[in-house]
């Protein structure tokens, strides 16, 4: 009789444990579903707000806009001055007010620039070119700027600031790299 009672109690414990486990799994799925809905709502809400404001996005002072990127990279204000527009690979070169460093802003990553350098025919062609990205040392300091570290309108402001400085349209660009040359 004691053995039967022990088996019934053990079976009841296992049965109720299984019921609780199934209930917990259902709750977990329900919570995951709610989390997904909240994320979708937040993304949609951000998209609507961004769409409303995106029509009025402008860059009043593009030089100051690029200077703010340099401040984020360096931690101090270099007071950049525009120097020149570079072609192949496309870039904008700025120089600090005290002329101690140059900043080259490009939509090309370091890997893309290395691939571009490798596609040039001769070794001497690098020195004929005026673009400092073609003679960029491998240990050069660079910083990537995007929506993640510069605000939710960065990808809308970048083409505006680029066109204002260079006079050339940039097109679709989600990030820009700043190469620090000393």
Model pLDDT, residue 124: 46
Q: How far apart are CA 5 and CA 115, in angstroms?
A: 77
Separation in Å, CA 83 to CA 59, 101, 121, 165: 19, 12, 28, 10
Using one digit for the tens of pLDDT, what is the confidence trace for 146-173? 877 888 888 889 999 999 999 988 888 8
Cα 4-10-13 angle, rounded to 5 deg: 140
The pTM is what? 0.68
**At residue 128, does pLDDT exceed 50?**
no
Lowest-pLDDT choice from 43-52, 67-76, 84-93, 125-134: 125-134
Parent domain of 171: 62-181
Q: Are residues 149 and 166 in the same domain?
A: yes
Q: Are 86 and 93 in contact (CB under 8 A)?
A: yes
**At residue 120, does pLDDT exceed 60?**
no
Q: Are residues 76 and 132 in the same domain?
A: yes
Q: Are residues 48 and 69 in the same domain?
A: no
* Band (49; pLDDT cuts 50, 70, 90): confident
> How many structural domains is the chain composed of?
2
Q: Which residue has the tokens 């660079």?
A: 142
The two beta strands, 102-106 and 81-86, are unpaired
């Amino acid at each position: 009789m004691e053995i039967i009672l022990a088996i019934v109690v053990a079976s009841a414990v296992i049965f109720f444990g299984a019921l609780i486990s199934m209930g917990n799994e259902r709750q977990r799925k329900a919570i995951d579903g709610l989390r997904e809905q909240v994320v979708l709502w937040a993304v949609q809400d951000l998209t609507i707000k961004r769409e409303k404001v995106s029509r009025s996005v402008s860059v009043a002072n593009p030089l100051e806009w690029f200077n703010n990127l340099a401040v984020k990279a360096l931690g101090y204000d270099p007071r950049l001055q525009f120097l020149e527009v570079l072609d192949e690979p496309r870039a904008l070169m700025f120089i600090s007010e005290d002329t101690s460093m140059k900043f080259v802003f490009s939509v090309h990553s370091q890997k893309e620039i290395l691939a571009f350098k490798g596609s040039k025919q001769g070794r001497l062609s690098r020195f004929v070119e005026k673009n400092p990205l073609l003679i960029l040392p491998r240990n050069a300091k660079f910083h990537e700027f995007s929506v993640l570290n510069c605000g939710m309108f960065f990808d809308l402001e970048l083409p505006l600031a680029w066109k204002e400085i260079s006079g050339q349209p940039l097109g679709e660009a989600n990030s820009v790299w700043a190469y620090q040359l000393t």
